[in-house]
Structure 1
Amino acid sequence: MPRTTWATTHFAPGIAATGESPYIGLLMDGDLGSAGGHGVAVILEPLGEGPGVAEAARQVLALLQHAAWQINGQTSLEELGDTLGQAFGAANQWLFSLNAGRSLGEWYRFGATCALFRGPDLLIAQVLPGQVLVGQEQEIYAFPGEDAERQDSSYPLGQYRQVQPALYYTRLAPGDTVVLCHQELGAALAARFPEAILSPDSHRIIRLLEELAWESGRPDAHAIAIAIGSERSAPARPLRRLADVLLHLLPEETARRLDSRARTNWPGEAVDPTIEAVQTNHGATGGVDAHAEARGDWDDEPPRRSDDSATPDRSWRDEESTAEERWEPSASSDDDAVAGDFEHRAGRSRTLVELLAGFAIALVAAALGVWQLISRRRHRLSPPADDGTFGLPRLQRFNDAIQFPDFGPVRRQLPRLPVSRMTGLVAISLIGILTTALAFSIHNDRERARQERFDMLVQTAVQERMLAEQSSDPTIARAYLSTASARLDAAAELGLDPARIQQERAAVQAATDRVLKIQRLESIQVLGGVPPAPEGVTPRLFFGNGQLYILTDALYRLDSGGTKLIKLLEPGAQVGGAPVGTLLGAAWGEGTPVAFDGANAYILDPATAQWNRLPVGTFGAPYSGVATVNGFAGNLYLLLPEPGQILKFLAGSYQNQPEDWTGGQFTEHLSGAVDMEIDGRIYVLKPDGTVVTFYRGALEGEATPQVDPPVANAVALSMQPDRPFRYVADRDGRILRLSQDGTLVQQFLPAEGAPPLGPIRDIAVDDILGVAYVLTDQALLSIRLPAPPAGQ
């Protein structure tokens, strides 16, 4: 472990961390744990070393820190949990996309722990491996604990397409400590030096972790230790003193809630603050062996705290009885959040008025009580006069009963109303009017709360979009836009002003297109329907002598007007005294088209417009499973994905058996290939969009496009000699313009209202004229492609 950084310009007193490391990050504003302080601490645990790990860690840190730092002061705990979950999802998606196309041993995977401080609240999001130790009131809490069940959070970032972090929550007080470190080091520290975790000396914690790291053979481990100090004292104010006195007159639970609201800027709390450490359904709290509470023994001894928080009176093992005490973030809880926000805002605005009113009522009640007991108490009855005899003793009597005022004279002065049907109707009408007015007032308050919630969500979405437009990092910009879309989805569920939602969605979509280099195609022309290809035949398009040829159930040529298909060769036609079989492929040869049916090649004679049959050498049976056929310099090439081969028939000797062009090597690169182009080199397309380049039978290189979303079902490759771009078509209706090294230049998608591009079967692009022909399951399309960006 590198030496501890005792003091830097980035850290405040009470915070210590290991030296400069790409795996830790800390942002803060104000004193952590205080009413006005907020910050975020992130620590990553790389699972493996290698080139690029540190740079990948910096990107993951940026994504997590950005998502946590952008949260404003009006965010509820439930929204905080949703935001952290989305941040972990975005970081995981970026890592998973980065790992695509890499061997399993070269994958980037990280355990991640994010501690978010908002005033006295601490929210922890975590995927293993990683460890958080929290020291509170001479007790140690460990997240995760030894009894934590295996779940989605047990998988690191970058391993699977989806990840769900475990979420934990607690409230901080002066003297608490928070330690983020490696899981093994955290367990060793809690077992050997528990008193250090409970002390406010964060630098000592880092020194002990350093010693444990050297003992365990992990000198490169890293950690962050944070000690929560006391808040700076502020001059007492008379109004605050009065509020403190009134809080002590109220019930304990009500006083605690009012005090919590007065000390924070949040509209409310989604978690019952009487619970010291709250477990969500996505994680499990746990602790060291010495602490019964962290092991789950809530039935034996309830948690103890010395602050003004109430103690839970039920075991957390009872799931049904504690449903109201758990916070379970959910994407479908916006309606509850709206109602909660309204109630919290109303409560916050009425807090001072209610306190003063309650205080006035208490004073009046106390005055009445004293008046009844003192002023209105009747005098003692006088004993009878002593007559000089020794009779029975006289009792000294007192009348201590409270005497209520006699309102009889006042009642007699009030007008009397006769009891009749009219009187009942009037009374019922008055009650109805009052009830309607009350319901209307409540409805207006709720509608106002909904409108405020709607405006806040839309404004936040606009801010996120503007930040994305200003960001130079595509990954960060994508995270901003993802958050903006989530805000708009939440606003749309409120059912207010759909036109405004639609307008902002269009702006977010336009910003997303700029970030992802998407061009929307409007000039899409449907040329007409095309006969379907037989089963086992892959339809193909190819250029020859400035004309477009189409292979489906037969070989066609598109006429010069682009409106009619001219049939050139079909199965069953007589060529060379024998019928033509099912055409498996076709390509442009030496100045003429070439067709192939598995046993014969057919070459069109331009002079006579007649087809010539050329039997090809086989291994005893006609060829099948041909992905594509291509010609170059008179040679004929077949791509066979199942055995992973490229077969080459030499010009002028097709009747001889072909040669395996790669010599039986590189089958893993050719297996599953979907298309092939030749210009002296052979370019083979794989389903993930990777283009593998071969030269003279040897592997020269491969290029995987870095595109969002990643390519999953590439079907066609089109390129022309001496042109700078390659074109890859995705089955779902997307065309990529790539540079020769695989760098994304543009993505082409249909504009709103334009004919759909998918599902695509093949493409042919004239890169000089900027025209692309797309063959779908239904029709043949012609597209005018936009020019590449300047400098490309």
Structure 2
Amino acid sequence: MERLATRASQFVLVGGISQQKSDLITIVEPGSAAAPEVRKGQLYLVVEADADAPGAVVACQLAAQVFRRVFYADQSFSATAALRAAVRAANKALYEQNFNRAAHERANVGLTGAVLREGALYVVQVQPAQAYVLSEGRLRALPAHPSWDPAHVSVAPFDRAGALGASLFVEPELYRCPLRPGEAALICASSLAPLLGRAEVETLLRHDPPAATARLQELATAAGLSDAYALLLQVAAGRPGVASRASTATTRTARAPDGWLGGLKRRTTAMLGGRQHPHDRPPRPAPTADPLHTLPEQPSFSPMPVPRPGPLELGESLGEHYERQRRAQPDRAPLRRENLPPSAFLGEQSFSGATTRRIDLSDTAAVSQGRPYQPRFTHRPLADMTWSERLALPFQRLRLAVEERLQRRGTRRPPPPRPIPRGQGLSYRRVRPPFPWALLTGLVLVVTALVFYGMSLSRQNDQQLVMEYFAAADERLDRVRAAADEPAAVAALDLARQAIDQLQASPGVTTTNPPLWLRYQELQREYERALAAVQRLTFFEEPVVLAELPSGRFADVVVPPPLGSITDTTVLEGLRYLYALDADPRSPRLYRIPRDGGAPLPYLSPGQPAGSAIVGPLRAAVWRIDQVVAVDQAQGGFGYYFRAGNTWNYSKLGASEIWTPRDRIDIEEYGGNLYVWGAQPNEVLRYRSGSYGDTPDYWFDPASIAELDLSTVVDMSVDGSIYLLRSNGTVLVFSQGQPVGEIVPEAITPPITSVTRFFVTGDSPENGYFFLLDSLGERIVQMEKLSGRIVQQIKVRPDGPLRLAELAGIAVDASEARPILYLANAGQIVRAELPPPPRPFREADSPPAPSPAPAP
């Protein structure tokens, strides 16, 4: 393998003063042949941190120390694995140090590490960092800096979010390339990278280190950099120290002819204090050979070795001799203890004599095929072998195994002696009884059968228990149908609910058991029909979440009504969206949402210019004729915002600077007029169409409402008449400024106690419905507008993923065959179809009532 010499040169500028070394640059080169740097490779490390951060230098030194220690302590033969482990350890050490410090005292470190090993350069980077590599005739920047490509928009060189110490997890960038003689690499701080263009870097890498260092100092001084540092690596052919040895030998050869005259001259010069010429200096001792790269001295052998002695004839073995005597005189051979081998007393059924192999020194073939030593590569570590030795290693081992096998087959072994029969009754060993395999097998089969039988009994018991639950639930549902009045039906419903809950908790009623699961679903539907008939409670079939506001809550939702014969593209564009007002007390916004669902997009926000005004906190939004309008609250009063084409315009509401709102402003639109509730105590203000800047009308007749208690009113709606909703569900009806009626809801279970909003459908007091929001009961109550009869109370299913615990707004689109409800629930906009009205109690045989017809 070609030996390479590496030259490393540092450029350090601290406070505008050039220095020789930097604490932020680490160079680790092998100091001896046994150092770990020989196996792991030479390490060059450059770290950097924000100079303004306190303790930046300490953090950089900590990262460098941990990186170096872990890299060389890693036992892996892979350089990339060791680099990853070192980066993770350095990041963990910095993260633990930053964790115990305040945010302004933390320091994040960028790192570039280069390992030169066996002619390959391994680079690891954690931003911010910068490196340049000249390899195979191509110049690469790691990472690619924007100064090289003006169209490049990457911010990776300036990104400190992934630096060491910023997070417990770090993902370094790794790069590998060959580095041959004449090639080089430059590692520098990210502050120096904007000054280095492609041509400049290529010139630096091809020049010698002193010239490159001087050029870097010129660039840094011209740019006004006070602190900068870089590391330049250049690779040359030959081993380090070869040139010095050659120069020493040349000097010694040139100095030999001087003789005693040259020595006298040198001594005289030294005595007079003169300067000694380099050629007159004493020669340096010759360098010793590297034991890792040189073969040991081979021993010398005599050309006429001493002849090997002949093999000794030892005769027959002891076993053969004993067997021959026993066969020659079987009757005279006494059966004595000393004539029997020890194994005759151990209880074996047969005895074989000792198979002692004779030492045959005449086996010259085996001796000649032996080797004085094994090949060296079998004892060397795999990491120290060359690629050719690694590839040849399996074939060499296979060849040795084949040769050893052939040697064993060629070696003759004497036949074993005949076994000596042992007499009966001479064993003192206790004979074990045979293992009862048949009994064990039978026991396992019996236990297995009992386990399966027990499982079958348990399954049958569970099945029988489930069937009993089904029978009890059917019986209790029959009691509901046969109840004489609603209280008895409600009590029977509670018992049926308990039986259904027991069925649901049963392990046998699951989707993996289709017959029982289908029967459970049918029982659940029967229970819901009975619940709807008795308590008028229905459930949304498939509610859909159209939009979510993760960091906020919606206060109201506005749904554009259907408009016929509209050709204006701006109006048609506005009809494709829903509009929602959030409940942020500091800066509420108006969002628009696609009707099919999607992310809420800000439509009007505080601080946004609109005409001659700046939008303030939005308080209300309503649909007016063909567009959505909004009202904000500013220091000078309340403003009215509307669209003119694709821009927002502004108009101040007349006399709004004297409003005294309590908590919520409710604004409704009818016939182009705006009706405001909550601006003045117990009063509805009316702004006439086209005159929103004028003083509003006080719509109520003071004498007619003097006896009315309007303190519990929570919401208002207008459809020609004005409806005021109280928290107990009662609706006050006004016409022409006079109270004309009061609609009291029908008593239901549970009772209505705390409604917050309502929506009115229909275009007159004679048709349509009230939809009341009960956030405490998580339900929507549908009530007839004329009589106050409760049509149904609607909830989501208890086992569904949706909860209506924070209902804040409702809008109903009655243009479809089945009305569509839009709900503002916390940070969600939910769409659901209105369920069909349930059949009244005791009218199970009558067909279901049709859905409410859409309002004209």
Normalising by the residue count of structure 2, what TM-score does the alignment of the two structures yield? 0.35
Point out the structure with max Rg over C-alpha.
2
